[in-house]
A and B are shown apart, each in its own frame.
Chain A
C-alpha cells in the first residue's frame, strides 16, 4: 500500500466510535442497559464498558462494508442523538469537550481519507510508491496545522465560557455568517482572477484506449461541433493517447483506431498566466 493510512484511519474511527459510545452511555439507552445488566447478572457494570467494544467493533466492520465516510457520519449522528431536546446541566462541560474532540477527529479523518485515496489513484497511474508516501505524508502534516489552529480557536472559546456553563455572548453563533462571507469573498476573488486574461490557448486530448503502439494520425475531419481523428499504424496495445489539438478545434473530438473508438469532451479548463489550457477526455 502506497500510503499506509489504514492504521491511522482505524484509530480515528475507533475514537469517534468511543465518543459516540460515551454519549449513548449518558442517555436513557445507557440507563436502560445498566438496569438490564443488573437484572441479568446482578452486577452493576458501567454501560460504557459494553457499548464501547460493541460500537467500535461494529463501526470498523461497517467501514469495510459501506465505506469509512458513511460510517463516520453515522457515528457522529449516534453521538448527537442523545442530546436532542437538551442535556442535563452537569453534562454540558463534558459534551462541550467531547464535541471538540469529535469535530477534530472528523476533520482529520476527511483529510486522511482524501490523501490516501489520491495517493492510491496516483500509484495506480504508475507513480513511485515511496515518493508518493513521502510527499503525501508531508502534505497531511502541513494540512493538520490548519486543523490544529481551528481546534485551538475552539478551545479558547470553550475555556472563556467555562466549557459551556457560563454565557459568552452570541460570538460563536455570529461567526457562522462571518465565515460564510469570508469564504464567499475568497471564492469570488479566485474566480474573478482566472477569467479572460489568457491570450494563448493550448488544447490537448487524453484518453486510455486500444490503439497502435506506433500510430499516426492519418485522417482528420472537422465538422461544426466535432473533430474526427483516425489513428492508424502499429500493433494494438492498451495505452494512453495524448494529442495536441489546434486552437480552433471544437470541444468534442472522436478518436478512432482500428480496434477502439472514443469520444472525448472538454473536462477541464485552467488559466495560468497568459495561457489557457483545455483538456479533452472521457467524462
Chain B
C-alpha cells in the first residue's frame, strides 16, 4: 500500500465531491488527509546512523556462548528504526535478540545499546553479517533510509573431539609399532614434506630453508616425514546419501565428528594421516604431527553434504597415485544404501589393492535411528547384509544408540585386527 498516494487520492476526492454535490464541507474535510500529508513531509525518516558492534571472541566450541554488543545512534529524522544482522544457522541466539526496533522521536537523538548471546550448535566456520539499519518515517510517506555497518565477522566453532586413552591406542597398535624402525621419530627422512621448523643443533645444512630464513630473520629448516611411518587414509563420504538423519544429527554431521576424533587419535600415535572428502573432492595429503591437526580441523569444519555427486570408487581411484607405495590403512566412512552398494564394493576392492598387506575398513553409519526406531531397526538389518557383501572389516554405527567413543575404539580395533589377517 502506498500511503502518500492514498492520502492524495482522498484529498482530491473531497474536492471532487464538493464540486459534484455542491457541499463545500467536503472540500473542508479533504484538508484532513491533505494537511496530514503536507505535515508529514516536514519529518524525514531516521538517518545519520552510526553503529559499533563488539563480539567477545572469534572462536568458540559447541555449547559455549559468545556475547554480541551493539551500540546504535540515529541523529536525524524521526520514526521507526529497524536494526538487524544475520547469523549463520550453526549459531543459536540463546539470549536477547539480533533484530530490534526502536522509535526515534522528533528532535531527539536516538542512542541505544543492546546485547545478545550466541551459542555454537554446530562445528564450522560461521558468520555474523554486518548490521543492517532501516529508518521508516512516522507517516510512512517517504522512502525508508538504509545503511549497513561493520563487517562480516567470522566465528569458528570447534567440534567436540572424543579422546581415546593413549594407553588403549598404544596397546592396540603395539604389534604394528614394535620393532618397526620406520615408525621411529629418528627414521631416515623421506621426500614427503612435513613442516618448516626452527633450526636445532645437529640439523644438516642442506635442510635449511634459505628463503624462509631470509624472510623471517630466524634460522628455519624443512622437515620431512620419516620413511616407513604407517599411513592411514580416511575417505569421508559427503554425497547426498549422507544427508539422511534427523535434524542436527545427519549422517554427515556424525561422520565429521567421528573423523575429527579419529584423526586426532591416529596423529597421537604418530601415524601419517591423509583425508579425502568424497563429493567436494577435498584432499589433504598424508601428514603427521600436531600441526597437521590444525589443517584437518580447518578442512573438516566446512564439510557438508555436497551437491556434486562423486562415486565412492571414483574417489579412491583419484587419490590412488598419491598413496602409491605407502600401503596405507584405508578407512571409508559412509552410509551404505542400495543405491551406493555397488560403488562401495568397487571402492573396497580398490582400497584393498592400495592397502596391500594392510587394512581396509568400512564404517557404516545408520542415521535412521534419529528419525524413528522402526526405520533404524529396518536399516540395521539391511546394513548387516550389505556389510557381509563388502567382504572386508566393517564397523556398524547405530547413530544415537551407540556413543561415538565406543565406535572410535571399534574402528581402532578393526584396523588392528585386519593388520593381522583377521576377517
- Give me the interface of A with B, judged by CB distance under 8 Å: 69, 76, 80, 83-87, 92-93, 95-97, 99-100, 102-104, 106-107, 110-111, 113-114, 117-118, 122, 125-128, 131-132, 135-136, 138-139, 142-143, 146-147, 149-151, 153-154, 157-158, 161, 163-164, 168, 172-173, 175-176, 179, 182-183, 186-187, 190, 202, 204, 206, 212-214, 216, 232-237, 239-240, 242, 244, 257-259, 268, 270, 272-273, 275, 277, 279
Contacts and interface: CB of A to CB of B under 8 A. Distances in A.
B138 A95 contact: no
B371 interface: no
- Classify the interface of chain A: helix, strand, loop or mixed: helix
A212 to B, nearest CB: 5
Interface string B103-120: 101100000000000000
Contact of A176 (B11, B97, B280): B11
Contacts of A179: 11, 34-35, 37-38
* Chain B residues touching A, range: 35 or more
29 contacts: A69-B6, A93-B25, A99-B17, A99-B23, A106-B33, A110-B1, A118-B136, A126-B99, A127-B101, A128-B100, A135-B80, A143-B139, A147-B36, A150-B33, A150-B34, A153-B35, A154-B35, A172-B24, A183-B8, A190-B41, A190-B44, A204-B148, A216-B125, A233-B304, A235-B250, A235-B253, A235-B305, A244-B151, A272-B47
A214 B250 CA distance: 15
B22 interface: yes
Contacts of A69: 1, 6
A213 B307 contact: no
B99 A127 contact: yes
Which 4 A-B residue pairs are closest in the complex by CB-CB distance? A258-B307, A96-B25, A150-B35, A214-B124
Interface string B12-49: 11110110111111111111111111111110100111
B34 A176 contact: yes
A107 B126 CA distance: 47
B178 to A, nearest CB: 41
B32 A233 contact: no
B387 to A, nearest CB: 26
Contact of B31 (A135, A136, A154): A154
A96 B1 CA distance: 29
Contacts of A258: 306-308
B152 interface: yes
B329 interface: no
B28 A157 contact: yes
A170 B18 CA distance: 12
B28 A158 contact: yes
A45 B29 CA distance: 31
A126 B10 CA distance: 34
B306 A83 contact: no
Given A157-B28, A213-B89, A279-B146, A83 B20 contact: yes
Interface string B133-147: 000101110111111
Contact of A168 (B24, B124, B308): B24
Contacts of A127: 82, 84, 97, 99-101
B146 A270 contact: yes
Given A85-B21, A161-B24, 16 more contacts: A83-B23, A93-B25, A96-B24, A96-B26, A96-B28, A99-B14, A107-B36, A111-B3, A113-B1, A164-B24, A172-B28, A206-B86, A216-B302, A233-B302, A234-B302, A235-B250
B22 A87 contact: yes
Interface string B69-110: 000000000111010101011100000010111110110000
A235 B145 contact: no
B129 interface: yes
Contacts of B151: 244
A205 B37 CA distance: 33
A163 B130 CA distance: 57
Contacts of B230: none
B14 A92 contact: no
